[in-house]
Structure 1
């Protein structure tokens, strides 16, 4: 009798046996995760169609070169856009400085107007005091009084006319400056609104998957990092849609898109409030559960898996069978995002080796 103690066999994946197939999958995964500008999407779609049509999994150099060309062009466009944004921000800062100087000039003119008004008031007071003095000195001489009053009034009128003319000019200048400032503010406000919308669209493309409406990869990794830092129970389930490539080939890309929408919708509706779902690749979704062990997460995973398998889906009148494989991994103390994801990926590969609609948990 052998004295060897049986050990639990770990699920591993031998990539050396299917390098070509893995390359196709990796390229498809890269294309799906590539946040390319809209003008490059038709080219990416064509490349995906070429990959899907490959029968022997050998990838022509033209496909790899095409993906590389789009990546380089998109990066160049991103850098150009970044430079344009920096230039526009610099222009905005210059305009703000100009407005600040204009406001300072307007304030100085306002102070000058106030000082001019004080000067006119002082002049009027002196003229009135002079009139009163002349009247007292004139006694009963009506001609002397009349002459004194007329002379004083003439001086006052001249001062008032000068003040009104100066005040009108200053008011006109201030009004023109304020109108110019108002126009600048309107222009800047319009530009800021457009720029804000562009940034929001760009951020949404990174943070939210456009097809399914669930979170994107960037948002998921940020959420997972935060939950790992909080040191509460965290379990990942990495899902892969079974035979997704066959669905695309046999029923068309539209059916593939509907499959992803249906699966993500079921996961969203069945998860709890504190759970989190994101798309993580072409045909993969990832779920974060607030659980302390893989066993507790398996119960949740089995219910989700059953709900997807029971879903009715037809394409062009033909029923389409849906199922998913899942890899479960519980967070360990000190885990980083990449470490936990790697274990979930290994568990998923183990589940796929077992066959469709399977689950496996990392050790």
Structure 2
């Protein structure tokens, strides 16, 4: 009879748990400062030959500590989530402010946009943040709808213009046909007159008696006179009809000219506005890109020097945060005015975005651009302004680069921007030429 082996599962389970505790100890070392005392105590007991029963109290303590760490982690995650949401909201507001600053807004939406900008700059709760976002979306949709309506209006005008030009073309064709018909009638009249004169000549030559000659001559002259009168009446009617057509065409053309000029002026106003920064009155980035392309083509053709300056207002965010956004707007407007007033007629200055300005200086080398930039910097440094009774010191920094053989605009701009960064690193309120 076979003997049975004693059941060993509990012993095996105890060995497994013992091994698992050791692995847990090794894995968790250094993972959390609250676990370290318990792990050290378990390690000490294991080295002294303790069994699972001896480790039970420390394992229970580890369990409680893990629960505590888990709860703390959840709380931190909630806090981090809240902070993350706040950061995301702030970032969204900053991006929205930048978009509103650079957006080309139709005149009728200027006040609404200005009000939204002030709301964006304020402090926001979750609810007010959502309202600002909703207002921004509504504004953008209104601008879009207005743009679509304007485009439809232009399309309708152009379609009407085409139709009216077609009408004028038809009137011109009718006038031309009337003119051709008048020419044909004159030729027919000339033919008839020649025939009547020929008949009269033949009658005169064949007449035997004077009385008969008189009668025939009178008849021919009567018919000739009647034809002349009929022709004159037809010509008078045709000329009057043609004159009426010409007057009508002239009136239509004048109306079209007036409407076209009105549209041209309106489009020019919108175009100029689209290229102008509403805060400073300077050309904006779109206008700068167009001018840069033109100056680059001229530089490539004539090989004359061309310099680029990138300006940045020092500590602009501090001005906004300390004195308010109205002071920030006043700062940008003042800097824009001073940069413009210190330029030559051939130079071009634009607000590139935010507190950054750019200058294009034709026929100017780096050393000459630096001299001009230093004069401008000193002038701006000396003209601080007052906001709500507080004096605001104003300084500005710039980076300068000259276009080199083979350069694209971006190549030169990157060098000027790097030079600007160097000016900031050197303490601000200074001008730096790239590579010097």
TM-score, with normalisation over the residues of structure 2?
Answer: 0.67
1:189 to 250, 257, 279: 257
Determine the structure 2 residue equivalent to 1:87. Answer: 156
CA contact (8 A) 1:328 1:348 kept: yes
User: Deviation at 1:277?
Assistant: 0.7
CA offset at residue 97 of structure 1?
Answer: 2.4
Listed as ranges, the matches of 1:267-282 within 5 Å are 267-282=339-354
Greater shift, 261-270 or 47-56, is seen at 47-56
Cα distance in structure 1, aligned partners of 2:168 and 2:421: 62
- Residues 221, 337 of structure 1: 8 Å contact kept: no
Quote the residue 1:142 is aligned against. 210
Specify which of 147, 158, 162 is matched with residue 226 of structure 2: 158
* 2:311–2:420 Cα contact (<8 Å) kept: yes
Correspondent of 1:104 among 173, 179, 193: 173
C-alpha distance in structure 2 between counterparts of 1:62 and 1:343, whole Å: 42
1:206 to 260, 269, 274: 274
CA distance 1:79–1:345, shift in 2 (3 Å): farther
C-alpha contact 2:320 2:327 (8 A) present in aligned 1: yes
Larger deviation, residues 185-194 vs 116-125: 116-125
Using the TM superposition, give the Cα deviation of residue 85 of structure 1 relative to its aligned residue in structure 2, in angstroms.
Answer: 1.4
Instruction: Report which stretch shifted further, 267-276 or 215-224.
Output: 267-276
Using the TM superposition, give the Cα deviation of residue 87 of structure 1 relative to its aligned residue in structure 2, in angstroms: 2.8
The number of equivalent residue pairs is: 343
Distance in 2 of aligned mates of 1:359 and 1:25: 28
Please give the alpha-carbon distance, in whole angstroms, between the structure 1 residues aligned to 2:123 and 2:135.
16
User: 1:1-80 residue pairs with structure 2 within 5 A?
Assistant: 23-54=92-123, 60-80=129-149
Q: Tell me how far apart the structure 2 counterparts of residues 357 and 22 of structure 1 sit (CA, whole Å).
A: 28
Of structures 1 and 2, the larger Rg is shown by 2
Could you tell me how far 1:152 is from its partner in structure 2? 1.1
Specify the SS of the correspondent of 2:171: helix
User: Which of 179, 185, 189 pairs up with 1:116?
Assistant: 185
- SS of residue paired to 1:154: helix
Aligned to 1:13: none
Task: Note if contact 1:206-1:217 (Cα within 8 Å) is conserved in structure 2.
Answer: no
Which has the higher relative contact order, 1 or 2, with Cα contacts under 8 A spaced 6 or more apart? 1
- Per the alignment, do residues 178 and 226 of structure 1 end up closer, same or farther by CA in structure 2, a change over 3 Å counting? closer
Distance in structure 2 (CA, Å) of the matches to 1:53 and 1:355: 30
Q: 1:47 to 1:351 in 2, by over 3 A?
A: farther
Q: Is the 8 A contact 2:106 2:270 kept in 1?
A: no
After TM superposition, the score normalised by the length of structure 1 is 0.78
**1:20/1:59 contact within 8 Å kept:** no
What CA distance in whole angstroms lies between the structure 1 residues aligned with 2:310 and 2:88? 22
Tell me by how many angstroms 1:281 deviates: 2.4
**Post-superposition CA distance 1:25-77 (Å, at most 9, x none):** 43322212111112222221112212333389x99233233323322332232
Q: Which deviates further from its counterpart, 343-352 or 187-196? A: 343-352
Instruction: Mark the CA change 1:325 to 1:48 in structure 2 (over 3 Å): closer, same or farther.
Output: farther
Q: Where does structure 2 lack aligned partners over 5 or more consecutive residues?
A: 1-86
Match of 2:34 in 1: none
Distance 1:62 1:88 in 2: 38
8 A contact 1:214–1:278 mirrored in 2:
yes
Output one character per residue of 1:228-269: Cα deviation in whole Å (capped at 9) or x when no partner.
454565543322334556767887877655544432232223
Q: Specify every segment of 5 or more residues in structure 1 that has no aligned partner in the other structure, as ranges.
A: 1-17
- Please list, as runs of the form range in 1=range in 2, the aligned pairs for 1:202-241 lying within 5 A after superposition: 202-228=270-296, 230-231=299-300, 234-241=306-313
- For residues 19 and 335 of structure 1, the distance between their equivalents in structure 2, rounded to whole angstroms, comes to 39
Distance 2:133 2:404 in 1: 38
**Is the aligned partner of 1:177 residue 2:245?**
yes
Counterpart pick for 2:378 among 303, 306, 316: 306
Alignment match, 2:20? none
Secondary structure of the residue that 1:61 maps to in structure 2? helix
